[in-house]
Protein backbone atom coordinates (compact mmCIF):
# COMPACT_ATOMS: atom_id res chain seq x y z
CA UNK A 1 0.00 0.00 0.00
CA UNK A 2 1.40 3.40 -1.03
CA UNK A 3 1.56 6.34 1.35
CA UNK A 4 -1.12 8.16 -0.64
CA UNK A 5 -3.42 5.14 -0.56
CA UNK A 6 -2.94 4.93 3.19
CA UNK A 7 -3.71 8.65 3.51
CA UNK A 8 -6.84 8.33 1.37
CA UNK A 9 -8.08 5.49 3.58
CA UNK A 10 -7.34 7.58 6.67
CA UNK A 11 -9.44 10.46 5.35
CA UNK A 12 -12.29 8.16 4.32
CA UNK A 13 -12.30 6.46 7.71
CA UNK A 14 -12.43 9.83 9.45
CA UNK A 15 -15.34 10.97 7.27
CA UNK A 16 -17.24 7.73 7.80
CA UNK A 17 -16.88 8.07 11.56
CA UNK A 18 -17.23 11.85 11.98
CA UNK A 19 -19.54 13.18 9.26
CA UNK A 20 -22.97 12.72 10.84
CA UNK A 21 -26.03 11.98 8.67
CA UNK A 22 -27.38 15.45 9.56
CA UNK A 23 -24.20 17.18 8.41
CA UNK A 24 -24.07 15.08 5.24
CA UNK A 25 -27.69 15.94 4.43
CA UNK A 26 -26.95 19.62 5.04
CA UNK A 27 -24.05 19.39 2.60
CA UNK A 28 -26.21 17.72 -0.03
CA UNK A 29 -29.06 20.24 0.24
CA UNK A 30 -26.98 23.41 0.51
CA UNK A 31 -28.19 25.88 -2.12
CA UNK A 32 -25.38 28.38 -1.68
CA UNK A 33 -21.65 27.96 -2.01
CA UNK A 34 -21.08 27.76 1.75
CA UNK A 35 -23.01 26.06 4.51
CA UNK A 36 -24.82 28.23 7.05
CA UNK A 37 -22.58 29.09 9.97
CA UNK A 38 -24.22 26.82 12.60
CA UNK A 39 -23.63 23.86 10.29
CA UNK A 40 -20.19 25.00 9.19
CA UNK A 41 -19.07 25.68 12.77
CA UNK A 42 -20.14 22.23 13.94
CA UNK A 43 -18.14 20.66 11.10
CA UNK A 44 -15.19 23.00 11.66
CA UNK A 45 -14.95 21.94 15.31
CA UNK A 46 -14.91 18.29 14.28
CA UNK A 47 -12.07 19.02 11.84
CA UNK A 48 -10.24 20.99 14.53
CA UNK A 49 -10.44 18.09 16.97
CA UNK A 50 -8.84 15.94 14.27
CA UNK A 51 -6.16 18.59 13.66
CA UNK A 52 -7.39 19.29 10.11
CA UNK A 53 -9.19 22.64 10.38
CA UNK A 54 -6.36 24.67 8.77
CA UNK A 55 -4.46 22.17 6.59
CA UNK A 56 -2.88 24.81 4.35
CA UNK A 57 -1.33 26.83 7.19
CA UNK A 58 2.35 26.47 8.05
CA UNK A 59 2.94 23.67 10.55
CA UNK A 60 4.15 26.08 13.22
CA UNK A 61 0.70 27.69 13.26
CA UNK A 62 -1.30 24.46 13.27
CA UNK A 63 -1.15 23.31 9.65
CA UNK A 64 -0.87 19.67 8.68
CA UNK A 65 2.31 19.75 6.62
CA UNK A 66 0.59 17.80 3.84
CA UNK A 67 2.08 17.77 0.39
CA UNK A 68 0.29 18.80 -2.80
CA UNK A 69 -1.19 15.36 -3.45
CA UNK A 70 -2.51 15.01 0.10
CA UNK A 71 -4.23 18.39 -0.05
CA UNK A 72 -5.90 17.39 -3.32
CA UNK A 73 -7.02 14.04 -1.89
CA UNK A 74 -8.42 15.68 1.24
CA UNK A 75 -10.44 18.21 -0.75
CA UNK A 76 -11.71 15.55 -3.14
CA UNK A 77 -12.84 13.22 -0.34
CA UNK A 78 -14.61 16.03 1.51
CA UNK A 79 -16.52 16.84 -1.65
CA UNK A 80 -17.36 13.23 -2.47
CA UNK A 81 -18.70 12.74 1.06
CA UNK A 82 -20.92 15.86 0.75
CA UNK A 83 -19.27 17.48 3.77
CA UNK A 84 -20.50 21.03 4.45
CA UNK A 85 -18.40 23.65 2.67
CA UNK A 86 -16.98 26.15 5.16
CA UNK A 87 -16.63 29.80 4.19
CA UNK A 88 -12.95 30.67 3.64
CA UNK A 89 -13.24 34.05 5.40
CA UNK A 90 -11.58 32.82 8.58
CA UNK A 91 -9.10 30.09 7.72
CA UNK A 92 -8.05 30.76 4.14
CA UNK A 93 -8.41 34.53 4.01
CA UNK A 94 -7.87 36.44 7.25
CA UNK A 95 -5.72 33.63 8.62
CA UNK A 96 -3.43 33.90 5.60
CA UNK A 97 -2.94 37.66 5.96
CA UNK A 98 -2.41 37.52 9.72
CA UNK A 99 0.34 34.95 9.11
CA UNK A 100 1.87 37.10 6.37
CA UNK A 101 1.45 40.61 7.81
CA UNK A 102 0.53 40.28 11.49
CA UNK A 103 2.68 41.18 14.46
CA UNK A 104 3.75 38.40 16.80
CA UNK A 105 1.06 39.57 19.23
CA UNK A 106 -1.61 39.44 16.52
CA UNK A 107 -0.56 35.97 15.44
CA UNK A 108 -0.63 34.71 19.02
CA UNK A 109 -4.07 36.20 19.61
CA UNK A 110 -5.97 35.56 16.38
CA UNK A 111 -4.59 32.36 14.87
CA UNK A 112 -5.54 29.92 17.68
CA UNK A 113 -9.06 31.39 17.76
CA UNK A 114 -9.44 31.05 13.99
CA UNK A 115 -8.09 27.51 14.11
CA UNK A 116 -10.57 26.43 16.80
CA UNK A 117 -13.57 28.27 15.37
CA UNK A 118 -13.86 30.51 18.42
CA UNK A 119 -13.77 33.50 16.07
CA UNK A 120 -15.88 33.59 12.91
CA UNK A 121 -14.97 36.32 10.46
CA UNK A 122 -16.93 38.46 7.99
CA UNK A 123 -15.30 40.29 5.09
CA UNK A 124 -15.76 44.07 4.89
CA UNK A 125 -14.60 44.81 1.34
CA UNK A 126 -17.36 45.76 -1.12
CA UNK A 127 -19.41 48.94 -0.81
CA UNK A 128 -22.48 50.16 -2.74
CA UNK A 129 -20.16 52.25 -4.92
CA UNK A 130 -17.07 50.04 -4.79
CA UNK A 131 -17.37 46.43 -5.89
CA UNK A 132 -15.05 45.19 -8.60
CA UNK A 133 -13.47 48.65 -8.50
CA UNK A 134 -12.63 48.01 -4.87
CA UNK A 135 -9.93 50.68 -4.63
CA UNK A 136 -12.60 53.39 -4.92
CA UNK A 137 -13.99 52.47 -1.47
CA UNK A 138 -15.09 55.38 0.75
CA UNK A 139 -15.75 53.85 4.19
CA UNK A 140 -13.78 56.34 6.28
CA UNK A 141 -11.54 55.87 9.32
CA UNK A 142 -10.03 58.79 11.24
CA UNK A 143 -7.27 58.27 13.78
CA UNK A 144 -8.19 59.63 17.22
CA UNK A 145 -5.70 58.77 19.94
CA UNK A 146 -5.64 55.01 20.41
CA UNK A 147 -8.65 54.38 18.15
CA UNK A 148 -9.86 54.69 14.57
CA UNK A 149 -13.34 56.25 14.21
CA UNK A 150 -15.14 54.50 11.34
CA UNK A 151 -18.11 55.80 9.35
CA UNK A 152 -19.58 54.25 6.22
CA UNK A 153 -21.04 50.99 4.99
CA UNK A 154 -20.07 47.62 3.52
CA UNK A 155 -22.30 45.42 1.38
CA UNK A 156 -22.60 41.77 0.28
CA UNK A 157 -21.07 40.82 3.63
CA UNK A 158 -21.40 37.04 3.70
CA UNK A 159 -22.62 35.53 6.99
CA UNK A 160 -22.14 38.78 8.94
CA UNK A 161 -25.27 37.87 10.91
CA UNK A 162 -23.33 34.97 12.46
CA UNK A 163 -19.86 36.48 12.69
CA UNK A 164 -18.24 37.92 15.80
CA UNK A 165 -15.31 39.51 13.92
CA UNK A 166 -14.84 41.47 10.71
CA UNK A 167 -11.79 42.39 8.66
CA UNK A 168 -12.38 45.68 6.94
CA UNK A 169 -10.83 47.95 4.33
CA UNK A 170 -11.20 51.62 5.25
CA UNK A 171 -9.98 54.89 3.77
CA UNK A 172 -7.57 56.78 5.99
CA UNK A 173 -6.22 59.20 3.36
CA UNK A 174 -7.88 60.78 0.29
CA UNK A 175 -4.70 62.09 -1.34
CA UNK A 176 -2.91 60.23 -4.11
CA UNK A 177 -4.20 57.29 -6.13
CA UNK A 178 -7.24 55.25 -5.06
CA UNK A 179 -5.03 52.37 -3.97
CA UNK A 180 -3.17 54.64 -1.59
CA UNK A 181 -4.71 55.71 1.70
CA UNK A 182 -6.43 52.36 2.36
CA UNK A 183 -5.95 50.65 5.72
CA UNK A 184 -6.72 47.06 6.79
CA UNK A 185 -8.41 46.71 10.21
CA UNK A 186 -9.47 43.75 12.36
CA UNK A 187 -12.20 44.25 14.97
CA UNK A 188 -15.30 42.93 16.73
CA UNK A 189 -18.51 43.14 14.71
CA UNK A 190 -20.62 43.89 17.78
CA UNK A 191 -18.91 47.18 18.68
CA UNK A 192 -21.26 50.10 19.46
CA UNK A 193 -22.36 51.83 16.26
CA UNK A 194 -22.37 48.74 14.03
CA UNK A 195 -25.64 47.58 12.47
CA UNK A 196 -26.05 44.45 10.33
CA UNK A 197 -29.05 44.43 7.97
CA UNK A 198 -30.03 41.32 5.99
CA UNK A 199 -30.01 41.14 2.19
CA UNK A 200 -32.25 38.32 0.98
CA UNK A 201 -31.05 36.80 -2.27
CA UNK A 202 -33.22 35.98 -5.27
CA UNK A 203 -33.22 32.35 -4.10
CA UNK A 204 -34.83 33.41 -0.81
CA UNK A 205 -31.74 32.69 1.29
CA UNK A 206 -30.15 35.00 3.86
CA UNK A 207 -26.50 34.74 2.97
CA UNK A 208 -25.58 38.39 2.49
CA UNK A 209 -25.84 41.54 4.59
CA UNK A 210 -25.16 45.24 4.55
CA UNK A 211 -23.12 46.51 7.50
CA UNK A 212 -23.32 50.12 8.68
CA UNK A 213 -20.69 51.92 10.77
CA UNK A 214 -21.69 55.01 12.76
CA UNK A 215 -18.77 56.52 14.69
CA UNK A 216 -17.42 53.07 15.53
CA UNK A 217 -14.32 53.17 17.75
CA UNK A 218 -11.80 50.51 16.72
CA UNK A 219 -8.63 50.05 18.80
CA UNK A 220 -5.41 50.66 16.86
CA UNK A 221 -4.30 47.18 17.92
CA UNK A 222 -6.56 45.98 15.09
CA UNK A 223 -4.34 47.57 12.44
CA UNK A 224 -2.90 44.85 10.19
CA UNK A 225 0.17 45.93 8.28
CA UNK A 226 0.92 49.63 7.90
CA UNK A 227 -1.56 52.49 7.92
CA UNK A 228 -2.38 53.59 4.34
CA UNK A 229 -0.80 50.39 2.96
CA UNK A 230 -3.84 48.16 3.35
CA UNK A 231 -4.07 47.65 -0.41
CA UNK A 232 -0.97 45.46 -0.22
CA UNK A 233 -2.71 43.26 2.36
CA UNK A 234 -5.97 43.30 0.40
CA UNK A 235 -4.34 42.12 -2.84
CA UNK A 236 -2.61 39.28 -1.02
CA UNK A 237 -5.91 38.19 0.50
CA UNK A 238 -7.78 38.36 -2.81
CA UNK A 239 -5.31 35.90 -4.34
CA UNK A 240 -6.43 33.39 -1.70
CA UNK A 241 -10.11 34.21 -2.26
CA UNK A 242 -10.01 33.95 -6.06
CA UNK A 243 -7.55 31.13 -6.46
CA UNK A 244 -9.25 28.40 -4.49
CA UNK A 245 -9.95 24.91 -5.78
CA UNK A 246 -13.08 24.63 -7.93
CA UNK A 247 -12.36 21.22 -9.45
CA UNK A 248 -13.49 18.77 -6.73
CA UNK A 249 -16.81 20.50 -6.09
CA UNK A 250 -17.59 20.92 -9.77
CA UNK A 251 -16.68 17.30 -10.50
CA UNK A 252 -19.06 16.09 -7.79
CA UNK A 253 -21.84 18.31 -9.14
CA UNK A 254 -21.26 17.01 -12.65
CA UNK A 255 -21.18 13.39 -11.45
CA UNK A 256 -24.51 13.88 -9.64
CA UNK A 257 -25.98 15.38 -12.79
CA UNK A 258 -24.74 12.46 -14.91
CA UNK A 259 -26.20 9.97 -12.43
CA UNK A 260 -29.55 11.75 -12.58
CA UNK A 261 -29.44 11.92 -16.39
CA UNK A 262 -28.78 8.18 -16.60
CA UNK A 263 -32.09 7.51 -14.85
CA UNK A 264 -35.53 7.88 -16.38
CA UNK A 265 -36.31 11.54 -15.65
CA UNK A 266 -39.62 13.40 -15.72
CA UNK A 267 -41.54 10.45 -17.08
CA UNK A 268 -39.44 10.15 -20.22
CA UNK A 269 -39.37 6.78 -21.92
CA UNK A 270 -35.60 6.87 -22.14
CA UNK A 271 -32.93 8.29 -19.85
CA UNK A 272 -32.10 11.92 -20.51
CA UNK A 273 -28.49 11.01 -21.25
CA UNK A 274 -29.69 9.24 -24.42
CA UNK A 275 -30.62 12.64 -25.84
CA UNK A 276 -27.77 13.43 -28.22
CA UNK A 277 -27.85 17.18 -27.63
CA UNK A 278 -27.81 16.88 -23.83
CA UNK A 279 -25.15 14.17 -23.92
CA UNK A 280 -22.93 16.42 -26.03
CA UNK A 281 -23.31 19.25 -23.49
CA UNK A 282 -22.26 16.89 -20.70
CA UNK A 283 -19.22 15.75 -22.69
CA UNK A 284 -18.18 19.34 -23.39
CA UNK A 285 -18.52 20.17 -19.69
CA UNK A 286 -16.35 17.18 -18.76
CA UNK A 287 -13.62 18.29 -21.17
CA UNK A 288 -13.67 21.85 -19.84
CA UNK A 289 -13.55 20.56 -16.27
CA UNK A 290 -10.54 18.37 -17.06
CA UNK A 291 -8.71 21.42 -18.38
CA UNK A 292 -9.57 23.38 -15.23
CA UNK A 293 -8.42 20.56 -12.95
CA UNK A 294 -5.12 20.29 -14.81
CA UNK A 295 -4.62 24.02 -14.50
CA UNK A 296 -5.38 23.92 -10.77
CA UNK A 297 -2.87 21.14 -10.22
CA UNK A 298 -0.14 23.20 -11.88
CA UNK A 299 -1.13 26.19 -9.76
CA UNK A 300 -1.06 24.20 -6.52
CA UNK A 301 2.36 22.90 -7.50
CA UNK A 302 3.60 26.48 -7.91
CA UNK A 303 2.19 27.48 -4.52
CA UNK A 304 3.67 24.38 -2.92
CA UNK A 305 7.12 25.41 -4.17
CA UNK A 306 6.75 28.92 -2.78
CA UNK A 307 6.08 30.71 -6.06
CA UNK A 308 3.60 33.65 -6.05
CA UNK A 309 0.11 33.01 -7.40
CA UNK A 310 -0.33 36.38 -9.08
CA UNK A 311 -2.69 36.54 -12.05
CA UNK A 312 -3.07 32.75 -12.12
CA UNK A 313 -5.73 33.07 -9.43
CA UNK A 314 -7.68 35.37 -11.76
CA UNK A 315 -7.63 32.77 -14.54
CA UNK A 316 -8.86 30.06 -12.17
CA UNK A 317 -11.61 32.35 -10.91
CA UNK A 318 -12.84 32.98 -14.47
CA UNK A 319 -12.87 29.34 -15.56
CA UNK A 320 -14.17 28.04 -12.24
CA UNK A 321 -17.15 30.37 -12.09
CA UNK A 322 -18.00 29.86 -15.75
CA UNK A 323 -17.98 26.10 -15.17
CA UNK A 324 -20.19 26.51 -12.10
CA UNK A 325 -22.73 28.42 -14.15
CA UNK A 326 -22.61 25.90 -16.99
CA UNK A 327 -23.27 22.96 -14.66
CA UNK A 328 -26.19 24.65 -12.88
CA UNK A 329 -27.73 25.50 -16.26
CA UNK A 330 -27.48 21.85 -17.30
CA UNK A 331 -28.96 20.77 -13.97
CA UNK A 332 -32.01 22.99 -14.49
CA UNK A 333 -32.40 21.53 -17.97
CA UNK A 334 -32.23 18.02 -16.51
CA UNK A 335 -34.66 18.33 -13.58
CA UNK A 336 -37.24 20.27 -15.59
CA UNK A 337 -40.45 21.09 -13.70
CA UNK A 338 -39.12 19.53 -10.50
CA UNK A 339 -36.82 22.52 -10.19
CA UNK A 340 -39.73 24.96 -9.82
CA UNK A 341 -40.98 24.30 -6.24
CA UNK A 342 -39.53 26.62 -3.58
CA UNK A 343 -38.44 24.25 -0.80
CA UNK A 344 -36.48 26.10 1.92
CA UNK A 345 -38.03 24.00 4.70
CA UNK A 346 -36.94 20.74 3.07
CA UNK A 347 -33.40 22.14 2.74
CA UNK A 348 -33.23 23.33 6.36
CA UNK A 349 -30.71 21.76 8.75
CA UNK A 350 -32.15 18.80 10.69
CA UNK A 351 -35.41 19.03 8.73
CA UNK A 352 -37.54 15.87 8.60
CA UNK A 353 -39.21 16.92 5.36
CA UNK A 354 -38.36 15.14 2.12
CA UNK A 355 -37.85 17.34 -0.95
CA UNK A 356 -40.25 17.15 -3.87
CA UNK A 357 -38.54 15.06 -6.52
CA UNK A 358 -34.88 14.19 -6.13
CA UNK A 359 -32.50 16.06 -3.77
CA UNK A 360 -30.85 17.36 -6.93
CA UNK A 361 -34.10 19.08 -7.90
CA UNK A 362 -34.50 20.67 -4.45
CA UNK A 363 -31.30 22.68 -4.86
CA UNK A 364 -31.24 23.10 -8.66
CA UNK A 365 -33.11 26.40 -8.93
CA UNK A 366 -31.63 28.21 -5.90
CA UNK A 367 -28.13 27.13 -6.95
CA UNK A 368 -28.81 28.30 -10.50
CA UNK A 369 -30.04 31.68 -9.25
CA UNK A 370 -27.19 32.11 -6.77
CA UNK A 371 -24.56 31.17 -9.32
CA UNK A 372 -25.62 33.97 -11.69
CA UNK A 373 -23.51 36.16 -9.42
CA UNK A 374 -20.48 33.83 -9.43
CA UNK A 375 -18.88 35.71 -12.31
CA UNK A 376 -19.36 39.01 -10.45
CA UNK A 377 -18.37 38.48 -6.82
CA UNK A 378 -14.73 38.34 -5.66
CA UNK A 379 -13.96 40.69 -8.53
CA UNK A 380 -15.97 40.38 -11.75
CA UNK A 381 -14.61 38.19 -14.51
CA UNK A 382 -14.19 41.32 -16.63
CA UNK A 383 -11.89 42.76 -13.97
CA UNK A 384 -10.01 39.44 -13.81
CA UNK A 385 -9.40 39.60 -17.56
CA UNK A 386 -8.01 43.11 -17.14
CA UNK A 387 -5.65 41.84 -14.42
CA UNK A 388 -4.43 39.04 -16.70
CA UNK A 389 -3.99 41.46 -19.60
CA UNK A 390 -1.84 43.80 -17.52
CA UNK A 391 0.23 41.00 -15.99
CA UNK A 392 0.82 38.92 -19.12
CA UNK A 393 0.68 41.44 -21.97
CA UNK A 394 1.75 44.53 -20.07
CA UNK A 395 -1.17 46.56 -21.45
- Please report the sign of the dihedral spanned by the C-alpha atoms of residue 298, residue 301, residue 307, residue 310: positive
Evaluate if residue 365 carries a pLDDT over 70. Answer: yes
User: CB of 158 within 8 A of CB of 123?
Assistant: yes
pLDDT averaged over the chain? Answer: 88
User: CB of 84 within 8 A of CB of 40?
Assistant: yes
d(CA 242, CA 125): 14
d(CA 42, CA 268): 41
Q: Across residues 33-54, what is the average pLDDT?
A: 94
Non-local CB neighbours of 238 within 8 Å, separated by 6+ positions: 313, 378, 379
Q: Checking DSSP bridges between strand 206-219 and strand 223-224, what pairing results, if any?
A: unpaired
Beta bridge partners of 210: 155, 197
Picking from 237, 385, 234, the residue whose alpha carbon sits closest to that of residue 319 is: 385
Residue 243's Cα: distance from chain center in Å?
A: 10
Give 63-102 pLDDT, tens digit per residue. 999 987 898 889 889 988 999 999 989 998 999 999 999 9
Angle between helices 276-304 and 68-80 (to 10 degrees): 140
d(CA 150, CA 141): 4
Residue 50, number of CB atoms within 10 A of its CB = 13
Which pLDDT band holds residue 266 (cuts at 50, 70, 90)?
Answer: low
Beta bridge partners of 390: none
User: CB of 181 within 8 A of CB of 175?
Assistant: yes
Please count the residues of the chain.
395
- Cα dihedral 281→283→288→294 (10° resolution): 160
Picking from 55, 127, 115, 39, the residue whose alpha carbon sits closest to that of residue 304 is: 55
**Strand, coil or helix: what is 19?**
coil
DSSP state of 391: I
Q: Checking DSSP bridges between strand 165-171 and strand 182-188, what pairing results, if any?
A: antiparallel
Share of the chain above pLDDT 70, in %: 93
d(CA 110, CA 95): 8
User: So what's the pLDDT on residue 152?
Assistant: 98
- Please report the sign of the dihedral spanned by the C-alpha atoms of residue 326, residue 331, residue 336, residue 341: negative
DSSP state of 116: H
Give 315-348 pLDDT, tens digit per residue. 888 999 999 999 999 999 998 888 887 777 777 7
All domains in the chain, ordered by first residue: 3-86 (1.10.540.10), 121-229 (2.40.110.10), 243-393 (1.20.140.10)
d(CA 137, CA 171): 7
User: Could you write out the DSSP letters of every residue in 284-299?
Assistant: HHHHHHHHHHHHHHHH
Q: Across residues 372-393, what is the average pLDDT?
A: 83
- Cα dihedral 97→100→103→105 (10° resolution): 70
Evaluate if residue 239 carries a pLDDT over 80. Answer: no
Evaluate if residue 300 carries a pLDDT over 70. Answer: no
Non-local CB neighbours of 390 within 8 Å, separated by 6+ positions: 311
d(CA 375, CA 319): 9
Give 105-119 pLDDT, tens digit per residue. 999 999 999 999 999
Amino acid sequence: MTDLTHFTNEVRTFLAESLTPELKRAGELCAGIYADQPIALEWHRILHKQGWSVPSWPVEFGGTGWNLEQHAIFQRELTLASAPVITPNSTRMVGAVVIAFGTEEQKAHYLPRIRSGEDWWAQGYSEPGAGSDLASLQCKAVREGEHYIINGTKIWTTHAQWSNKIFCLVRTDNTGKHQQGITFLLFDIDLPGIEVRPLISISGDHEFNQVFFDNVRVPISGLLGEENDGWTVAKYLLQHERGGSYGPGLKTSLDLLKSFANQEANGALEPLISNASFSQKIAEAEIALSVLESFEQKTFSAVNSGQPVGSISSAIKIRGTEMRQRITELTIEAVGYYGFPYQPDARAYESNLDPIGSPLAATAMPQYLNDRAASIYAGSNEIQRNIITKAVLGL
